[in-house]
Structure 1
Amino acid sequence: MRMYQVDAFTDRLFAGNPAAVLVLDDWLPDDLMLAITQENNLAETAFAKARSDGAWDLRWFAPAHEVDFCGHATLATAHVLLTEAKAEAPLIFHTRVGELRVTQGPHGYRLDFPRLPPEPLETLPAEIARVFDNPPVRIFRNFENIFADLGSADAVRSFVPDLASIARLGRVGLVVTGQEADNGRAHFVSRYFAPGAGIPEDPVTGSIHATLVPYWGERLGRKRLMAFQASARGGWLDCELTEDRVFLVGNAVTFMKAMISLPNGAL
């Protein structure tokens, strides 16, 4: 069984966010897909299967469980389908969060995601109330994560996560974000922690920008924003906001092509 490992949201190897991709003829058992993901020891492994209508079904697994939405593994899958499987753009993916589209442009792959506006949050959950040295400027959430605006990009970069406390949120992750200084290339930066899903810190996370872009777009009065995820590997996202969609432009490079040898009786 062929598998690819792709660095997403980067134009060079050893940067961005790595994801594994498998293109299947038929779905594998869920427990086997989870086992493959755990063996890969990456934040996400994507599994894609062609549909009769020319679109694709797409599922994502983290080491702890299947996830509802993953941006960088969507980008990685599109890269594999267009460069290895000889599929043609635009690609249409059917997922748990609805239909996602990926096209190709002069500056990279263009991902079309649903706009997930920030939902007000009055107080931090007790599990993470003490993880901040200083209270966040603002807190909000979407259906799968809690967000904390720390007030500046420097505060985001220097944030030291208490992973044990964050893990008590279970499947909910924590995003910290802040506005970049006026002389910075990015308009805002972020970091993402989801230890409850087996992801201590995600290098570059496309899905959180479906909420970050509406948040910062409103605060800064912009429809086009440049975002930087300030993990150790780091990654850039060129973002565009419309009334009901968020568009992200990014690149991807293939790091590895491999064959999985499944034991007899695994399927």
Structure 2
Amino acid sequence: MKLKLYQIDAFTDRVFGGNPAGVCILDDWLSEDIMQKIALENNLAETAFVVEEEGVFGIRWFTPLVEIDLCGHATLAAAYVLFEHFQYDRDTIEFYSTRSGTLKVSRTDELLTMDFPTDDYAPVTPPENIVHALGSVPLEAFRGKTDYLLTFSSQQEVENLSPDFNLLSKVDGRGVIVSSPGDQVDFVSRFFAPQVGISEDPVTGSAHTTLTPVWSKKLGKNQLTAKQISQRGGDLWCEFLGDRVKISGKAVTYLVGEIAIT
């Protein structure tokens, strides 16, 4: 069996920037075991698998270690593949995940906009194990469905964090978001998730379902500019719509290849 594999750099307009995602557009679902092995072999933060079912595209996301509930950059990458490589001729693609519900991605010129559900989050006392792992005390902490979010006062503080990933890997949940006001954008962030095999994710679209409402309320505005300040870096445009969040970015093709499974 041979499968086409696309590797897309998401949330960037240049190759080697943003967050790379693997994308496989399938005629039928593969076994969970095979999809997990492909994701491990790709060794990317996430690989998305997509199957069209009566006009809606079913989507699943795998890290090298586990299947996850939601992945923004791999969804953006999957939409880019359908628009650019499969000549999908509508302006909006509707994805469906059994774990996250309906997810839509629309295209306006070079910009792709994801329509995701807003995270269900609440303020919490900063967990001591996370504070110890980060080596810095945050201003605030929040707990969402899958992640913690810790806020700091300056971009430099976020840039200077050097986490103990062994300690962070013991945190309950998917990962830890750290964020602050940005020097040139409304807010910046980083995302650590060693517990699912990703020490630091280059750009995390799904984290912005938590970041967007938090910073929208802090800054008193619904449209925000954002940057994930990882080594690769990524640019996002976010809009808070109450129970939904729009997250926009660009994407480019790095690789088109073929997987041979015997």
Same-fold call, TM > 0.5? yes
1:113 lines up with 2:112 in the alignment:
no
- Output one character per residue of 1:158-192: Cα deviation in whole Å (capped at 9) or x when no partner: 110110011112552011101123xx2x1110000
Give the letter for the 1:69 counterpart.
L
Give secondary structure in 2 for the equivalent of 1:87: coil
1:77 lines up with 2:55 in the alignment:
no
After TM superposition, list the pairs within 5 Å mapping 1:225-244 onto structure 2. Answer: 225-244=224-243
Among 32, 45, 70, the residue aligned to 1:30: 32
Q: Which runs of 5+ in 1 are unaligned?
A: none
Q: CA deviation at 1:107?
A: 4.8
- Output one character per residue of 1:114-167: Cα deviation in whole Å (capped at 9) or x when no partner: 11143121241x532412333110000111101110221111111101100111
Sequence identity percentage: 42
Asked if the contact 1:151–1:178 (Cα under 8 Å) also holds between the matched residues in 2, the reply is yes
Give the letter for the 2:255 counterpart.
M
Structure-2 residue corresponding to 1:158 = 160
For 2:220 and 2:126, the matched residues in 1 are separated by: 26
Structure-1 residue corresponding to 2:212 = 213
Give secondary structure in 1 for the equivalent of 2:103: strand
Query: What's the C-alpha RMSD, in Å, of the aligned pairs?
Result: 1.2
Asked if the contact 2:112–2:248 (Cα under 8 Å) also holds between the matched residues in 1, the reply is yes
> TM-score, normalised to structure 2's length?
0.95
For 1:122 and 1:180, the matched residues in 2 are separated by: 24
Structure-2 residue corresponding to 1:169 = 171
Asked if the contact 1:107–1:249 (Cα under 8 Å) also holds between the matched residues in 2, the reply is no
Asked if the contact 1:64–1:196 (Cα under 8 Å) also holds between the matched residues in 2, the reply is no
Give secondary structure in 2 for the equivalent of 1:260: strand
For 2:56 and 2:157, the matched residues in 1 are separated by: 42
Give the letter for the 1:94 counterpart.
Y
1:100 lines up with 2:103 in the alignment:
yes
Among 3, 8, 11, the residue aligned to 2:13: 11
For 1:170 and 1:44, the matched residues in 2 are separated by: 20
Give secondary structure in 1 for the equivalent of 2:200: strand
Q: 1:259 to 1:107 in 2, by over 3 A?
A: closer
Task: Please list every run of at least 4 consecutive aligned residues from structure 1 whose deviation after the TM superposition is greater than 3 angstroms.
Answer: none
Asked if the contact 1:118–1:214 (Cα under 8 Å) also holds between the matched residues in 2, the reply is no
Asked if the contact 2:154–2:180 (Cα under 8 Å) also holds between the matched residues in 1, the reply is yes
> TM-score, normalised to structure 1's length?
0.94
Structure-1 residue corresponding to 2:188 = 189
Structure-2 residue corresponding to 1:90 = 92
Asked if the contact 1:179–1:189 (Cα under 8 Å) also holds between the matched residues in 2, the reply is yes
For 1:239 and 1:171, the matched residues in 2 are separated by: 24
Give the letter for the 2:86 counterpart.
A
After TM superposition, list the pairs within 5 Å mapping 1:29-48 onto structure 2. Answer: 29-48=31-50
Q: Which runs of 5+ in 2 are unaligned?
A: none
- Output one character per residue of 1:80-133: Cα deviation in whole Å (capped at 9) or x when no partner: 011112223310000111100011113501111111143121241x53241233
Asked if the contact 1:171–1:197 (Cα under 8 Å) also holds between the matched residues in 2, the reply is no
